[in-house]
């Protein structure tokens, strides 16, 4: 797993709205990168709904929020539409990004881990082993203390 202080691996993934997203294009900004196992499951739904609920707070801070799972682009699109997601959900269907971050599970899905990437492209914080809906709250707390 990528640890705090390490360079965040760059990636190029399709978002739910069809855009190609590269992490390196956000250099100079804080980025919350949350990996989740599977769209439409209870924990992932609670986590994504909480990120969506707090999205205005992240936006006020100028923080980019990106959700990543191994689901297809079309599944991510349906998930984003159903829950009113205003940030990008990315499809890692080839599982390369999950593998690069060390969060790919034997089941082929991503582990639930949130990485906060600083403006220089380094991982400033790793959030794991908390309830799904706590990931957005913990990320926001960390960012408010660090920015």
State whether residue 28 is helix, strand or coil. Answer: coil
Q: 114: how many CB neighbours lie within 10 A of its CB?
A: 24
Beta bridge partners of 91: 14, 69
* Catalytic option among 8, 33, 44, 64: 44
Q: Residues 58, 36: contact at Cβ < 8 Å?
A: no
Q: 6: how many CB neighbours lie within 10 A of its CB?
A: 12
The number of residues making up the chain comes to: 147
Active site residue 89: no
State whether residue 147 is helix, strand or coil. Answer: coil
Residue numbers annotated as active site? 44
């Amino acid at each position: 797993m990528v640890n705090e202080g390490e360079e965040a691996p760059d990636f190029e993934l399709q978002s739910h709205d069809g855009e190609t997203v590269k992490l390196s294009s956000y250099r100079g900004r804080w980025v919350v990168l949350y990996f989740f196992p599977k769209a439409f499951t209870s924990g992932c739904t609670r986590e994504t709904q909480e990120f969506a609920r707090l999205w205005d707070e992240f936006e006020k801070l100028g923080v980019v929020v990106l959700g990543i799972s191994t689901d297809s682009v079309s599944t991510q699109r349906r998930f984003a539409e159903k829950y009113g997601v205003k940030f990008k959900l990315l499809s890692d269907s080839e599982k390369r990004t999950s593998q690069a971050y060390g969060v790919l599970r034997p089941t082929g899905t991503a582990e639930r881990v949130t990485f906060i990437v600083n403006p220089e492209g380094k991982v400033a914080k790793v959030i794991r082993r908390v309830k799904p809906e706590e990931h957005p709250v913990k990320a926001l707390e960390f960012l408010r203390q660090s920015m």
